[in-house]
Amino acid sequence: MNREELHSFIKSSLAGKELIIVTNREPYVHRRKSGRIVVDRSAGGVATALDDILALTGGIWLAWGSGDADRETVDEDDTVMVPPDRPAYRLKRVWLQKKIAENYYNGFSNRVLWPLCHISLDRVYYRRRYWEDYIKANFTFTNAISAIVNDNSLVWLHDYHLCMVPGMLRERFPDLTVAHFWHIPWPDWDVFRAAPQAMNILEGLLGNDLIGFQIPLFVKNFLECVDEALDAEVDYENSTITYRGRKTFLSAFPISVDFEKFNHLSSAPETERSIRRLRRKYNLPAMVGLGVDRLEYTKGLLKRLQALNLFFEKYEKFRGRFTFIQIAVPTRLQEPYLSYQKSVETLISRIQKRFGRDDWTPILYISRKLDQKELVAFYRMADLTIISSLYDGMNLVAKEYVASQTDSSGALILSGLAGAAEELEGAIRVNPYDIENFADSINIALRMPREEKRIRMQMLRKQISDNDIHYWITDVLRSILSISGIKSAGCEYAFDRMDRILKRLARRKPFFFLDYDGTLSPIVDTPDEATLPPRMKRLLRELSRNYPVTIITGRTLDDIRKRVGIKNIIYAGNHGAEIWENGQTAHIQQPEQELFLIREVLEKLTESLSDIKGVYVEDKGITVSIHYRNVWTKDISEVFSRFWSIMKGYEGRFRVTSGKKVFEIRPFAVWNKGDAVKWILRKHGKGFLPVYIGDDVTDEDAYSVLRKRGITLHVGPNSKSDYYLEDIDDVYRFLSEITSLRRNRS
Ligand code: ADQ
């Protein structure tokens, strides 16, 4: 999904909601520099993408005010409008006393949770005051959040600095939607049980409605930790945990980079010039390798250097022909980082001494932060890049390198222990602890035929361009919104409430209303291909022998009747505008005036969208559907803008709903699914209990009509229905349970 689509999605979905992002570090820091106040902007891809979202939606970002001029730049609510050049949202700063900040950040966060989650147990250093101040800092964050939330807030927390905030918030606001993204790994129970305060941390996190991890392995590890440590109901299949009567959803959302931005920077003529300049400046040989890291022990720099040492020893012919460039920015300037930096630099000097020559450097060490343009020039120039993480949540360098490889000439050597390895097919996988094999892999990468490198890199590039940072944000927000929808509508998972449903069904016979696409038949690329799975057809037959059944759909009557092909069923087509029963049309609407207008819109849309590949304009008589499931991602924003510019001319005349990759246009006067349900029930429904299952926004009209009168179920969350089902398999299971009940009774 590209930036425009993301923005379009977010604008419509977040309408009426307020997004509150909470992080330890601020997106903008005010500092004093030579007597003046300057603003530093966080350059990281994740921070930039989140900043974009808030600029669009006007939410709030809450973070620790750590800059020395931060206090001078806020108003009485500790708030400053950002971005500084085009103020669009509020940055609210949280103040922490120096001693508390030190123990919370450098202490419990970085000396306990960080090494623990990276399975570096001997580096865990715990003091009781770290924990006490971590709690205090989390409490201060909670107070600041409490002061700004309301019924429409969606709180999105980030990372391991804020474990206790969800639990604290939950005590104060039982109904607030709270989600958390965990950027680093989550280890398994054997490791996590070493955490002082393990139970408190888990309990704190279970205050969330949703916890996002980088990869499924971390989700599994978290589920197991909770299973071992707490008396909770752990559902491994659906990745949910119910603890003290509350449900937390877990999911993997692999984070990514702004593919377009790196791709664009890398293809700029300026980058070519920078590459030439860098080659001259550092007197580089024909082949270069690259490492870009914070000077961080989890990134495995020592293992990488040991492997390089072995590589130069074993593969002599690369001496003088290959230089490895290590760009390492010092981080967290404290122990154990200072010692680690020293070990890295000592090893580099040793390799230099052993192999270096006057005219050639085996390892070029650049120890500073680079700006993005400079970084991209290195990425583009490198014949290979090495990621040697000993454990890593994801590793964005791997993805940035791939996004910058516009000519697909480089190779990625990737540690199997980085989260990125779960996703990226096409990389040369290494185990950083096996330095023999690691050294051989460097040789393999350098000797790899150009064509193989190209194929591998193109595979990698496709994976990242399809799943970039915009996609990630959309995915997480979609889940947060879904959960918020379930909560605000009080919609529960049907199988958690089967006893209640069956009790109602024991009193009255059901009258089924079933949507077709996405409910009985899987959603497919083109509507024509949607067929009813044979087992579902068998079940429908049995159902219709025992109970009244209506199939209610956006398809035309002819189409749906052919597709289902069962006789003793009522069919409602065109979202309820046409009804068929007992072998004939029982109701049809074709108001003259509307018919004329809809023809006009149909013509305009067909003409305007005809040159965009994959758009399917479906003429349904009195209504029109525009399907864009098969449109290339890059063209979707064009479809949106052309569609809306035409529909603007018909404001107030038509109702436009947006479903699963489809817009539906219908005149206001034309019946919707709710009207059709009312009509059918009036005619045939006396004494029955209506049971409606749908999956589309157009089904919401029926849910409203049946509120308190029947049972409504929606496939997927975020609906006004009484209950939700996860997918079509759930629909099958649900209907089967009801039919087997009947079988058992008789
Ligand atoms: P990190 O471990 O900090 O964060 P990582 O994924 O390794 O993040 O990315 C490092 C970032 O810093 C990259 O964007 C890179 O360009 C930049 N960087 C590194 N050295 C640099 C230099 N010398 N100059 C300029 N920029 C430099 C955590 C987790 C990761 C997870 C991220 C995002 O540890 O596993 O991928 O969050 O969720």
Last residue of a domain, one of 635, 667, 699: 667
Place of tokens 């449109």: 631
Whether residue 343 sits in one domain with residue 264: yes
522 is a domain residue: yes
Do both 51 and 176 map to the same domain? yes
Mean pLDDT of all residues belonging to the chain: 92
Token code pair at residue 625: 């559907």
Ligand 1 centre to CA of 657 (Å) is: 41
Q: What is the mean pLDDT of residues 619-627?
A: 89
46 Cβ inside 6 Å of ligand 1: yes
Residue 139 lies in a domain: no
Judge whether 54 and 48 are in contact, CB under 8 Å: no
Pocket test for ligand 1, best of 118, 294, 368 (most atoms within 8 A of CB): 294
Q: Give the separation between CA 32 and CA 198, rounded to whole angstroms.
A: 40
- Shared-domain flag, residues 571 and 657: no
Q: How far is the CA of 99 from the centre of ligand 1 (A)?
A: 27
Atom of ligand 1 nearest to the CA of 370: 24
626 CB-near residues (< 8 Å, 6+ apart): 605, 609, 615, 616, 617, 618, 639, 643, 662, 663, 665
Query: Per-residue confidence at 562, pLDDT binned at 50, 70, 90?
Result: very high
> Strand pairing partners for 213?
252
Show the domain range for 698: 490-589+671-745
Q: What is the pLDDT of residue 639?
A: 85
Whether residues 662 and 679 fall in one domain: no
Give the separation between CA 29 and CA 82, rounded to whole angstroms. 11
Distance CA 699, CA 327 (A): 55
Are the CB atoms for 204 and 211 separated by under 8 Å?
Answer: no
394 lines ligand 1 (CB under 6 A): yes
Ligand 1 within 6 A of CB of 604: no
- Let me know whether 293 and 417 are in one domain: yes
Cβ atoms of residues 664 and 553 within 8 Å: no
Q: Is residue 552 part of a domain?
A: yes
Q: What crossing angle do the helices spanning 396-404 and 259-267 adopt, rounded to 10°?
A: 40
Domain identity same for 404 and 524: no
> CATH number for the domain including 630?
3.30.70.1020
Structural element, H or E, at residue 693:
strand 689-694
Q: Which residue has the higher pLDDT, 3 or 695?
A: 695
CB of residue 397 inside a 6 A radius of ligand 1: yes
Q: What pairing do the DSSP bridges indicate for beta strands 492-493 and 723-725?
A: parallel
Give residue 48 CA to ligand 1 midpoint distance, Å: 13
d(CA 19, CA 149): 10
Is 1's pLDDT higher than 60? no
Does residue 490 have a pLDDT over 70? no
Answer whether 37 contacts ligand 1 (Cβ < 6 A): no
Q: State whether 277 and 240 are in the same domain.
A: no
Protein residue with its CA nearest to atom 18 in ligand 1: 293
Atom of ligand 1 nearest to the CA of 255: 38
Q: Two tokens at 535? A: 């087992």
Within-domain flag for 146:
no
Reported as a single tens digit per residue, the pLDDT across 431-465 is: 999 999 999 999 999 999 999 999 999 999 999 99
Q: 299 C-alpha vs ligand 1 centroid, how far in Å? A: 10
Last residue of a domain, one of 621, 639, 667: 667
What does each C-alpha distance from 497 to 17, 492, 493, 504, 505 come to in angstroms? Answer: 29, 7, 7, 11, 13
- List, for residues 573-606, the tens digit of each pLDDT value: 999 989 999 888 888 877 777 888 899 999 999 9
DSSP letter for 655, please: E
Distance 457 CA to ligand 1 centre (A): 21
Of 621, 615, 644, 503, the C-alpha closest to 557 is: 621
CB of 69 closer than 6 angstroms to any ligand 1 atom: no
Residue at 168 is within a domain: yes
Q: What is the largest CA-CA distance in the chain?
A: 95
Give the range among 36-45, 176-185, 283-292 with minimum mean pLDDT. 36-45
User: Which residue CA neighbors atom 22 of ligand 1 most closely?
Assistant: 369
Domain-embedded: residue 705: yes
Res 622: pLDDT:
84
Each residue of 333-389: pLDDT tens digit?
Answer: 888 999 999 999 999 999 999 999 999 999 999 999 899 999 999 999 999 999 999
Same-domain status, 373 and 462: yes
The finding on whether 327 has its CB within 6 A of some atom of ligand 1 is yes
Enter the pTM of the model: 0.73
* CA–CA gap between residue 152 and residue 173 (Å, rounded): 12
Pairing type for strands 36-41 and 584-588 reads unpaired
Index of the ligand 1 atom closest to the CA of residue 418: 35
Decide: 369 in ligand 1 pocket, CB within 6 A: yes
Q: What residue has token string 């022909």?
A: 321
Q: How many domains does the chain have?
A: 4
Sheet strands side by side (includes 428-430): 363-366, 322-329, 287-294, 384-387, 411-415, 428-430
pLDDT more than 70, % of the chain: 96
Amino acid code (one letter) for 270: E
Q: What is the CATH number of the domain that holds 404?
A: 3.40.50.2000
First to last CA, the chain: 52
> Residue 5 has what pLDDT?
65
In a domain, 143, yes or no: no
CA distance 457 to 282: 27
Tokens representing residue 613 in the block: 């590949």
Which pLDDT value is given to residue 241?
A: 94
Instruction: Quote the ligand 1 centre to 370 CA distance (angstroms).
Output: 12
Task: Please give the number of the atom of ligand 1 that sits closest to the Cα of 181.
Answer: 38
DSSP letter assigned to residue 233: E
Residues 6+ apart with CB under 8 A from 172: 142, 146
Indicate the residue among 199, 219, 252 that finishes a domain. Answer: 252
Confirm whether 123 is domain-assigned.
no
Per-residue pLDDT at 10 exceeds 80: no
**Would you say the CB of residue 396 lies under 6 angstroms from ligand 1?**
yes
How far away, in angstroms, is 669 Cα from ligand 1 center? Answer: 56
Q: How far is the CA of 464 from the centre of ligand 1 (A)?
A: 16
CATH number of the domain at 712, please.
3.40.50.1000
The preferred substitution site among 370, 372, 397 for testing ligand 1, maximizing ligand atoms within 8 Å of CB, is 397
Pocket test for ligand 1, best of 119, 292, 368, 467 (most atoms within 8 A of CB): 292
C-alpha to C-alpha distances, 744 to 123, 504, 505, 547, 549, nearest whole angstrom: 62, 17, 14, 15, 20
Same domain as 506, residue 569: yes
Question: 265-293 as b/e, with b when 16 or more CB fall inside 10 Å?
Answer: bbeeeebeebbeebeeeeebbeebbbbbb
Span 282-303, average pLDDT: 96
CA 301 to ligand 1 center in whole angstroms? 14
Question: Based on the domain organization, do 562 and 614 belong to the same domain?
Answer: no
Do 646 and 609 belong together in one domain? yes
Q: What percent of the chain has pLDDT over 90?
A: 72
Same structural domain, 18 and 73: yes
The answer, yes or no, to whether any atom of ligand 1 lies below 6 A from the CB of 403, is no
What's the gap in Å between 718 CA and the centre of ligand 1?
34
Report yes or no: 550 and 512 within 8 Å, Cβ to Cβ.
yes
Closest CA to ligand 1's atom 37: 183
Looking at residue 626, its pLDDT comes to: 92
Please tell me the predicted confidence (pLDDT) of residue 488.
66
Q: Whose CA is nearest to atom 38 of ligand 1?
A: 183
pLDDT at 431: 98
